[in-house]
Structure 1
């Protein structure tokens, strides 16, 4: 099964207290990298969120956005420092006496003084809330995986088209390659006869043809291309992340095609090399997006 590394997933879960929205998107990446944006008080669930996503994704850069709204996020408590309030009160009373003032000390004044009263937020430890969050993460991850699967199916069709094109070019080269030596010999004889009126040295011509044949021999390259094509086809059938292996095989195919282009001094073979390089370039673009 071929999976793309591009996808998007979204889920919303609610209960009486909370509304949780999870969105995630993924793009190409050499490894698996998950970044999560979540309210600070819920960051304790980050590892569990990552583990849930890793059940559906093995490679790619995944960005996760978690939005949580509701009254059940934190518990708020009012904390009053009674000792400090008493100190303030006594100090104000002494100031009134010392400076002959008649200001009244009221509760509203005391509560406004620094450090007397503050609201403390306590994290809510609610198992139901955690389950709601992870359910939203799972559903969003399933949607993400489904989109990546659909994208992967389209990539698979295109890659198989390029493989078929390369196979046709290989077959054409295999059929024409044996004729290259004969054509070279004919061209060489014609050229020599044009330049030298005397009969050509047959042994010298045979030597030159043999040297050319050795330099232009592409049988090994063609065999390796055939082998790599079989490996690509077999890899596409595997139910595991295959992007890196396919990337390596495309590089190896490109290496062999370049060698053929450099060794085969023939216009027909050169034309097939151009076709194969074009197909490999398209494959490379597609493979870069495979998990």
Structure 2
């Protein structure tokens, strides 16, 4: 099923966003995009997503950004380091004869000319090691929103599918109303043929009775109508079950299609054939939507 969920958290140390998109698929096809420091958590994340979403073509993107001045408290300037650098540059102006501006630009341009203090490097490494347990609730929040999106879509699909099912019921009722007319037409045809056959000297009453019984049984669609009604009721009950029912609904729809086809082949009537085509059309719409259901 399609779904979308996003969760965001922003602190003084980082901003994290987890975005999950899901498209219809018969199995789970998961694509992850994670920051480098979470690569060792990929298997755990995959297991959580698989357990929660079950199936779908899923893209998960975890965007992690650190502010430019993370962890700063009070003044953002290291006054002692800045004063020391200024004195060193002044000394170099005497030695080299270059201006202070020229030496400052040169210090920025030459690799290795500036040294980052050890305490600043340690602070950067500490910022990178954000505990996974701190980001895990964000993943659960995004998954919950995807599933809520799916539930909302499922409610809309339920209404749509039950509408198709009701139209099959209406057409089946039309078959039921027309069936007595079809039977009367069959009876009249048999009477006309009987009048022609009984006048023949080769007429065999026993064989004729067997053929008539076989013919009547072949044209009788009463059992198929009863089974189709039962399948429609069972389908409706299954739609409202709390557990995933996509596969079960697919099996029931196959049985519905089998009974509709049998009614069409046995009826041997143009009106009923027309109604059968209409029922098949609605059933195909149901099957198409079932592919979107877990």
If the length of structure 2 is used for normalisation, what is the TM-score?
Answer: 0.70
Pick aligned residue for 2:216 from 202, 208, 213:
213
* Partner SS, residue 238 of structure 1: coil
Query: How many Å apart are 1:68 and its aligned residue?
Result: 1.4
Q: Which moved more, 1:264-273 or 1:274-283?
A: 264-273
Q: Deviations over 1:30-88 (max 9, x none)?
A: 2334321212331222233334435642332222111212269xxxxxxxxxxxxxxxx
* Partner SS, residue 68 of structure 1: strand
Pick aligned residue for 2:11 from 15, 19, 23:
15
Q: In the alignment, what sits opposite 1:66?
A: 62
8 Å Cα contact 1:14/1:132 also seen in 2: no
For the residues of structure 2 that align with 1:70 and 1:122, how far apart are their CA atoms?
12
8 Å Cα contact 1:163/1:229 also seen in 2: yes
Give the direction of change, closer, same or farther, for the CA distance of 1:253–1:7 in structure 2 (3 Å limit): same
Give the direction of change, closer, same or farther, for the CA distance of 1:19–1:177 in structure 2 (3 Å limit): same
Q: In the alignment, what sits opposite 1:177?
A: 179
Pick aligned residue for 1:140 from 139, 142, 148:
142
Q: In the alignment, what sits opposite 1:224?
A: 227
8 Å Cα contact 1:30/1:59 also seen in 2: yes
The structure that is strand-richer by fraction is: 1
For the residues of structure 1 that align with 2:239 and 2:38, how far apart are their CA atoms?
40
If the length of structure 1 is used for normalisation, what is the TM-score?
Answer: 0.71
Runs of 4+ in 1 over 4 A off after TM superposition: 121-124, 195-208
The structure that is helix-richer by fraction is: 2
Query: How many Å apart are 1:283 and its aligned residue?
Result: 0.5
For the residues of structure 2 that align with 1:172 and 1:275, how far apart are their CA atoms?
11
Alignment RMSD (CA, Å): 3.3
For the residues of structure 2 that align with 1:226 and 1:126, how far apart are their CA atoms?
60
